[in-house]
Structure 1
């Protein structure tokens, strides 16, 4: 019996293991989110963001996901997606949120399956998303995330299908844990700074992989060979399908036997010695009688492209063509519009060229390609504000812009000491030519409807730049009448936009229009997001008065010189006369014209805090009409009413 007391009983041990199993694996599955717990986590998330005004309806005491809510419907919490009374997704896009993503807060939302914070100002290293292991889709594109992505970031995320990390500042190698996700369908990594080779894709269900415009190299994985070629552009050392670049065969020298390797070395040495002896013999024969070798033309490479372009096609043959063999390999045109006819830099150099003018940024030339379109090539010598990679990234950003009133950049050429931008030729010239050029009888006139249409087109395009380039202080930076082209229908086309980030800083401060704004003069080149609005206001006054802002000074009532804004203010306030309008703007004046003049003055407000936002300026401009609703009755009364509404700086 005593021996029976020491018999091993497995039941207590099995019970312990059973309860441990329940505690670790089973019980967590029964822990579900409640509307109250979700609300607590979301309010924590709101507080973790800087500039969280867009989340102002996330209010304590309310429930984010009532029982009847589904997706974005049935909830008052903006950006929250609901399912079965819990937070299923967060769609926090275009909200100007700042700071970092607190992944611990996201992990406290057990029902979370999709998370998007695209097009904000979030920064820092990538969140450790593996802690939210049930996510199915992650959208972090168009922010300021940076650094290398640790290998463990995506480990154990077996449900993850869509990953968008484009247009950030990630660097280093693409982690294999990302490309080996078992359910991966979409992977967007374009426009970062990833380097090295693309890891192998583990399964063939992947639909989209975009790694364009990084610093990747090597062979493209075979499973990606059928994808669109645009998904791999901008990686100069990638090869294989779908790119039309053949991969170089790998070296087999390591497999050679030692004897063969030694033999090759010996042969190479013997050949080298023979060549050296031959050269010594030839030099001795020529010594004393031969003339000095003239200097090579390599020291002229730096000026070759632009100078030949300026001379035109006359130098495309003969001696110049002989020396161009090396020169044209110094760089190549990089196209930003995929569906355009391709041409080489040499095609531009051989084309018939016409000098269009020389502005503050550089010289412009019209180049007519053989059996091709007419183009404008602009040379920039003061465009060294950023390094090579940052310049390429900024050009790609501009290449994505599309607006009917924006002149697209067709292609560009990069060299350290000189840049070329290639655009389409617009035949009707610039606004400055029509406003201030020779007033010949055959020159088109700008009546009120045309001027109003030009202002509306410029304002719409400038507003578009503000929306599409939120990280730039100066979305345009150089808005003036000479940078507003007009097409055959007198629609305005803006050029030379968003170049401030790549210009030499001193050059930009001296010459760019935005740096002439009052805040720059008063606070030593301190531009802000309203500086372009000031440029728009000056342009409006120029269009309405016909006065050239750069050199116009008028004698005021007190005998003191004043600028265009001061002149408009004084004339409108003192005399209420139509003298303020351009005499070439034919037809009767109406209240809408005075309203536009008022808008221009609001945009030129010296006090930046009082100056209108771009959004407000556009709304006011869009309200303007060519004529009053009932001009025969209201013209006189409304015109004086519009004058009386002026508020002066």
Structure 2
């Protein structure tokens, strides 16, 4: 008889008491199980997990001060631990370069983690199970001594954006679970001992940073990963196909290898020395010859096509765009008026530049930019300055020397300059990927939309460049003066490069102020170029990244809006539907990050200059949303040798309509 049905039957009193007792015991056991489950996922469980981890990683307490109280209590501040105040749970754990050792298994119990960075330590043992890390977005384990296979429970981290485990001792295959991480933007597993096949079904649309080089992987490279280039797969001798070996034929999932001298079967390579060429080998030789002939033909046609366009005329030379009556190869003027190069730049003669084919890239506030292709094949970008102030040659050269010595990974370096009475030229690296403006607002079938991870990466790179210019190069008061999307160029893998820095120093006041649409409100009165105005302009750029809309009027022929005023006019509850770029709506679980970046942008575009944050404050806010372990740290990778540039930079500018 079921004890739960005792009310519906006439049962002896003794039996009723026994059933009640058994029922109460069952309820108590259930409550104990529930209580145990709750205790296993609570603030106290986070503390216990960290203490267990500390016992292995730092038993002598030399690096970690994790003693006393709860990890997230107000009375304690544990190194590297960030908490969510309402819930009292550990959300971030950052322990980088602290010479910690031991196992990291205990951390698998931190069920509310969003960020875990243990890079540059000496942790060993296996990568823990990841079932509890279902909220994790950033996992950085590179530069340690972790071993064993990656667990299949990796699939539980469905919100993961970045995962780096390069430079460890990992073995085993790449888990199929990787194919389920649909939001993944970064996957770095190079310099391990991974083996087996790369999952053929890997289709990660958001993936922008991928590397599995120097492992022991075999088989063919999936078509979806070819775009990452040969360097992402180098050091895996048994991988085949594009982009490593475009001509290699993959036999199933294994490349065809050179058979031994005892082999008599057909295949790619050499058979027994006494045997004749097989039919397959003859076909391969014929096809190889045909491919070589086709390649030579294509190169010849391409060369002719580039040198002699369809109208039969020579392409326009760069010298045709200039007014340079002074220049003559044999004149004395050419000795005093020549290209001046900075250190670590590829050098060429002025005559080489003048003979280069020229293609206009665009016109801006400070001049016209050209793409110049030298006869050697080298490509550079040349800015022909307009309305340069009446400073002397010596003054111009001093300012160029100052600008040329500034260096930061997110600032486009000045490579050379030319000064003559009629012309002033600046030479930069040519960035084939164009600018942020062209990527956001360009149209056409060949345009590829920028995903959320890439937009964050660009925003962070540009912010680091501004932080360097404002705060890390001598004294303060160093400003850019013309922050806009068209001055943020995109290098390889969408690496942001801030262009046109320092040009406000040499321009006439009438064109020195920021472009309309990016211009801070105080420019209407004081016409000053300042750090606060730079912050405002950068805030507008962030709004562009979020909305996909261009500020007005960027160009007379383009439509646009006053982005700060428009966003502020939309109520908070309608941001998702009204403000954010529709191209971002197909990505899941990013609304929280978009709102955070939007709030930062609104802080930067505060109408009152004194209320805007400094770039040293803005960078960490963006960094929390887009942590990139591969990005160089500006504090260690930048060079500043121009203290004389760091005076108070004030340029009086007349009101104007900027193009």
Fold match (TM-score > 0.5): no
- Per chain length, whose mean CA-contact separation is higher, i.e. which structure has more relative contact order (CA < 8 Å, sep 6+)? 2
Smaller-chain TM-score range? 0.3 to 0.5
Q: Which has the higher helix share?
A: 1
Task: Choose 1 or 2 for highest CA Rg.
Answer: 1
Query: TM-score, normalising length from structure 2?
Result: 0.43
